[in-house]
Structure 1
Amino acid sequence: MKLLPLSACLLFSLCLPLHAEVKPAAKSVRERMEAFVQDGSLSGAVTLLYHDGKVVSEEAVGLQDIASKTPMTKDSLFWIASMTKPITALAVMMLQDEGRLDINDPVEKHLPEFKNQMLIKEKTGEQTVLVKPARPITIKDLLTHTSGLVGSPPIGGDVMDALTLKEAAISYALSPLQFEPGAKWAYCNPGINTLGRIVEVAGGEDYAKFLEKRIFKPLGMKATTFWPRKKDLEHLATSYKPTADGKGLEPTNIRYMTEPYSNKKRSPMPAGGLFSTADDLLKLYVMLLNGGEVDGKRHISEKSLQLMTQNHTGDLKAGFADGMGMGLGFQVVKEPVGVTAMLSPGTYGHGGAHGTQGWIDPTKKTIYIMLIQRAGLKNGDASPMRQAFQEAGAAMILKP
């Protein structure tokens, strides 16, 4: 190859555009999350990015509590809300592994109160016509939000808080189905709470004790609980909502839960009652990413995990973001688009009511955990916070 003389090289360089566009460096996870704190959208956040066997980013920004100016820390405790749902589903699948139930079982096989449940055929004025459904609801229907059970508790949230899971399940069974089982996807907290009762019946012990004995203790999830102790509450991130004028944030309560949160008389809510930390959730998600085992111990069979993380709702519209399907307790990315554009097809996870998010990308061997306490988001699963975190995280793991 013939080399150009130095003078020619200099001439060539002078011919380059003087105003060639230089793309700004991508902002880091910390910078992206701090922007939401600075503009008043968030009080603070904890994010954790795990890739290819190691934590590559763990950030705590902003304040855990605005009034006391307590800084957010990596061990801050969050109400993870509906991120509880996949954990309840995991308990169900453990029982399937042991032959104590089958997800295709009719719910009435384990909970007789669901026998002869009726279906709303039509409503005319004050009159409701009830008919027998084509088939009874199954455990799988509950896991995929396709059961047709009443979407909200038939009794007020403050009362439901005091009911045992047995009593709550009876109230759901007495309510007629809203649609034929399997006909559509409709997010259903009572369905997941019913699964908690099935865990008690099939597992032979209280739902919360089952989770502690079979999931939290074996995985070392010491901070995860339905009832944070008084000393744990010192680390609890306060939940906030926008002020009426939209110019700031003000504290808000946790829906469906009466204080004090440490009161064990309050029933554990399988659909959304857990508190946890980023590090605790990582322990759970690493086990799942590893195919159901960690440190040489298997917690769930590969077959059951595959069932949990594949789409079971076909072409039904499912989830709260575009391109989603429903697994067993997990939401599953069918087509990466919008807020999931940086994720692989088959990525699975779940969000929570106050914006918390946890997603596992098995193709890229990546885990995204974002913990915030922000009520009033238009769509927690498609929030600008989630998108910003995942974009920054994806850019980070793509760096050479």
Structure 2
Amino acid sequence: MDLLHSAGFASYVTELINQQHVPGLAIAIIHNDQIASAGYGHASLDPETPCTADTLFDIASSAKSLTAAAVGLLVDDNDMFPDMQYDAVMSTLLPEDFVMSGEGYTEGVTVEDILSHRSGMPSHDDSYMTVRAAKPDNARSITRNLRNLPVAAPIRSKYIYCNMMYTVATHLVEVKSGQDFGTFLEERFFKPLDMASTTLQPSSARSKGFESRMATGYTWKRANSTYHGLENPDCPEGQGAGSVISSVNDFIKFVKAFMNCEDPINKNVYEGLVRLRSFVNPNPGRRKRHTSPVAYAAGLDIYFYKGHMVVGHNGVFSGFGSRFFFLPDFSFGAVIMGNSDGANGVATTLVQKLIDDLLGVTDERPHDSKSKAIRPVEIRGPKPQAEAKDANPMSKNQGKKEKKKQEKKTQAKKSQGIQKGQVNEQRPKRNTPQPPTMPLSAYAGNYWNPGYHNLLVQIRDDALFIDATDRSMGFTLKFEHVSDDRKFDAHLTDWLDGSDDIVKAEFVIEDAQVTRLGLQLEEMLKEMIWFKKKDGSRRKAHLQFPVVVFSPTLGTTPLFYNAIAQAVASAGYIVVSIEHPYDAEFLEFPDRSNVTAANITDAQVPLGVNNRARDVSFVLDQLSTKDGVAALLPGTGAPGLKARRVAIYGHSVGGAAAAEAMRLDCRVVAGANLDGSMF
């Protein structure tokens, strides 16, 4: 507390933020229930706005502590939620939604596994869709998409930072509590603790009239030595991993309640959250002097420094950085927030200085502007594998991990053995990239992966290009050919901060057709993420297969005959099944009008057979036109199917209709009557 108010501390902080290119920084300290706070620099540069202890920042992954605490409250309430336990299997709590790929994961992953980053699931931060997408993700869709994403390690075998699992945790809270996550936080934490300025999502802060207090996030452009202001979008797809807006004056109240086990954090909740569950890096050689290896509990990093437990978490998002910590032995803690990526490095230095001052340590490395201690190094050891709104949105956004997009992509490059300026180290250097021998149009088209959704490969400025800014951590890819028409380097440019990294890319070519695209989007996986090409000549060729029409029995949907239709289609035919108006029990037309079945008498059956045959002719007319095919098979762009020579089969009355269609329409050149009388 005395240090914060000392004569030289303000100038020391100012020197740090200037060196690390942080426009503004705020600090709040608590010691024995006494709170002091201060702000330094600017919350905004244009117009210049002073940074104060009430300035609002995106706290990024520091918000994971709130998510874990929300789960902890439900675990503690055995009367209302007896099934909510830390060792409860997630799929028993969310049976319809929580399904993971890989044998044993669905049946084995528990609540505490997802809170301690030991589920075996890597970050997959490029897989979730933001509000800019045609189909944005939310907590439930993120949870349901787990089944489509490959795992990277056995359950509980290693620490792998995964923002998504904290979003999954919010879905669990919502399902069990019956409240949306923002309301739960408001009623269970923000109101009881008088955190009146804290909200979930930036739009909520603006709607409450706090926009003038919200800091602008910045990144430093070394090329021209200027700050670049960044957007701070809502990230509902990353809730729980980040996207909480708060000030140091507000968040220190949460730290105080946590540290002192004050309502709503009772002793049972506290003990459940600080239980050590996984080691961030179990290698004892990679740790700071007098410091234990860092462990992860539930939304908390925990390590021991000179015999005293230090509890906290950090957060990094494009344009923002934060860190909080407390030492329960001394009832001492602090919250630090800043508005640039460099704020996390400054916070790391200040945390160490505050702890050393508390413990009276004077024999450590000096904390001056020339000391290595001011480098932006995480106290907890290795950088997390991506973080939710920490790299945008949460990491590639919110966890998008305590990440920052740049940190995540730097890890990716290291894991692939690629350093900037060394991309082509293992192959002969070339002055000018050589274009592929195949035309770029052969690669263009839509590519699909069930977990990562659709990517559209376009041609832009004579190069292959992907616009993936609809992702939570939006990015673009510009491809540079490497070799064999198959291998490419894709230059990944971050949507928010403009940073550029290299992603390995590979196309699969079969029978002179591009069929798949692989991208090294997840550094924790040895294999690429593979996308199957959805359009192109191979798919359009399928539309040239011969057509077979099917007519079902009286009053019956053709869906009952799908097995037969699939068997015929597997032999190389396009099968068109007809729902006959006034015959099927219910039929909806393209204009949304509908008809129900008529009471067809035996005497009317011959007329019905004739009407069915005319239905066949009408359908063939539609299949022969571009508009007709567009209505039945949207997105194919085919001018029409091969409807001049078709075959037909039918069951019962449908069999009689097949014969009648052959008699009336010369386009029907073959037919089969399956157990039908002739009328």
What's the TM-score once normalised by structure 1's chain length? 0.76
1:251 paired to 2:251: no
* Aligned position for 1:17: none
AA of the residue aligned to 2:109? I
Q: CA deviation at 1:105?
A: 0.8
Q: CA deviation at 1:386?
A: 2.5
Q: CA deviation at 1:134?
A: 9.4
- 1:91 equivalent among 65, 70, 90: 70
* Aligned position for 2:256: 286
- 2:276 equivalent among 300, 311, 315: 311
1:117 paired to 2:100: yes
Per the alignment, in what secondary structure is the counterpart of residue 167 of structure 2? helix
Q: 1:250 to 1:134 in 2, by over 3 A?
A: closer
- 1:105 equivalent among 82, 88, 94: 88
8 A contact 2:276–2:297 mirrored in 1? yes
8 A contact 1:160–1:168 mirrored in 2? no
Q: Distance in 1 between matches of 2:149 and 2:346?
A: 37
Greater RCO (CA < 8 Å, at least 6 residues apart): 1
- 2:313 equivalent among 327, 342, 350: 350
Q: CA deviation at 1:173?
A: 3.5
* Aligned position for 1:273: 243
Which of the pair has more CA radius of gyration? Answer: 2
Identity %: 20
Q: 1:134 to 1:92 in 2, by over 3 A?
A: closer
* Aligned position for 1:223: 197
1:250-269 CA-to-partner distances (Å, cap 9, x unmatched) read: 21234xx35xx9xxxx5671
Q: CA deviation at 1:316?
A: 5.1
* Aligned position for 2:57: 78
- 2:23 equivalent among 35, 43, 48: 43
Q: CA deviation at 1:398?
A: 5.0
8 A contact 2:120–2:153 mirrored in 1? yes
Q: CA deviation at 1:177?
A: 2.3
1:68-88 CA-to-partner distances (Å, cap 9, x unmatched) read: 111112210000011110101
Q: Distance in 1 between matches of 2:85 and 2:134?
A: 28
Q: CA deviation at 1:393?
A: 6.3
* Aligned position for 1:176: 150
AA of the residue aligned to 2:270? L
Q: 1:321 to 1:78 in 2, by over 3 A?
A: farther
- 1:140 equivalent among 75, 88, 112: 112
Q: 1:285 to 1:40 in 2, by over 3 A?
A: closer
Deviates further, 302-311 or 239-248:
239-248
8 A contact 2:30–2:333 mirrored in 1? yes
1:325 paired to 2:295: yes
* Aligned position for 1:122: none
Q: CA deviation at 1:350?
A: 0.8
8 A contact 2:27–2:248 mirrored in 1? yes
1:270-303 CA-to-partner distances (Å, cap 9, x unmatched) read: 1101000111111111111112x1xxxx313312
1:40-73 CA-to-partner distances (Å, cap 9, x unmatched) read: 6210111112112212x42211111112111112
1:152 paired to 2:152: no
* Aligned position for 1:234: 212
Q: CA deviation at 1:115?
A: 5.8
* Aligned position for 2:357: 395
Q: CA deviation at 1:317?
A: 3.6
Q: CA deviation at 1:239?
A: 0.8
Q: Distance in 1 between matches of 2:172 and 2:148?
A: 17
Per the alignment, in what secondary structure is the counterpart of residue 215 of structure 1? helix
Per the alignment, in what secondary structure is the counterpart of residue 218 of structure 1? coil
Q: 1:246 to 1:185 in 2, by over 3 A?
A: farther
Per the alignment, in what secondary structure is the counterpart of residue 395 of structure 1? helix
- 1:67 equivalent among 46, 49, 60: 46
8 A contact 1:29–1:393 mirrored in 2? no
* Aligned position for 1:386: 348
Per the alignment, in what secondary structure is the counterpart of residue 242 of structure 1? strand
* Aligned position for 1:9: none
Q: CA deviation at 1:116?
A: 5.5
Q: 1:389 to 1:98 in 2, by over 3 A?
A: closer
Q: Distance in 2 between matches of 1:155 and 1:66?
A: 32
RMSD: 2.8
* Aligned position for 1:58: 37
8 A contact 1:358–1:369 mirrored in 2? yes
8 A contact 2:322–2:336 mirrored in 1? yes
Q: Gaps (5+ residues) in structure 1? A: 1-25, 120-130
AA of the residue aligned to 1:166? R
Q: 1:173 to 1:212 in 2, by over 3 A?
A: farther
Total equivalences in the alignment = 337
1:15-46 CA-to-partner distances (Å, cap 9, x unmatched) read: xxxxxxxxxxx974322211134446210111
8 A contact 1:51–1:397 mirrored in 2? no
8 A contact 2:99–2:106 mirrored in 1? no
Q: Distance in 1 between matches of 2:338 and 2:134?
A: 26
8 A contact 1:81–1:271 mirrored in 2? yes
8 A contact 1:221–1:283 mirrored in 2? yes
Per the alignment, in what secondary structure is the counterpart of residue 363 of structure 1? helix
* Aligned position for 1:195: 169
AA of the residue aligned to 2:295? G
Q: 1:213 to 1:134 in 2, by over 3 A?
A: closer
AA of the residue aligned to 1:328? A
* Aligned position for 1:20: none
Q: CA deviation at 1:205?
A: 1.6
* Aligned position for 1:214: 188
Q: 1:321 to 1:212 in 2, by over 3 A?
A: farther
Q: CA deviation at 1:373?
A: 1.6
Deviates further, 199-208 or 31-40:
31-40
Per the alignment, in what secondary structure is the counterpart of residue 284 of structure 1? helix
Q: Distance in 1 between matches of 2:17 and 2:227?
A: 11
Q: CA deviation at 1:112?
A: 1.6
Per the alignment, in what secondary structure is the counterpart of residue 309 of structure 2? coil
Q: Distance in 2 between matches of 1:313 and 1:160?
A: 38
Q: Gaps (5+ residues) in structure 2? A: 1-5, 362-679
Q: Distance in 2 between matches of 1:87 and 1:141?
A: 17
- 1:362 equivalent among 325, 328, 335: 328
AA of the residue aligned to 2:15? A
1:374 paired to 2:340: yes
AA of the residue aligned to 2:205? P
Q: 1:392 to 1:348 in 2, by over 3 A?
A: closer
Q: CA deviation at 1:176?
A: 3.0
What's the TM-score once normalised by structure 2's chain length? 0.46
1:349-396 CA-to-partner distances (Å, cap 9, x unmatched) read: 11111320110110121111111021267xx3xx24421354156426
Task: Name the structure where strand makes up a greater proportion of residues.
Answer: 2
8 A contact 1:47–1:59 mirrored in 2? yes
* Aligned position for 1:301: 266
8 A contact 2:99–2:146 mirrored in 1? no
8 A contact 2:37–2:249 mirrored in 1? no
8 A contact 2:43–2:55 mirrored in 1? yes
Q: Distance in 2 between matches of 1:321 and 1:349?
A: 17
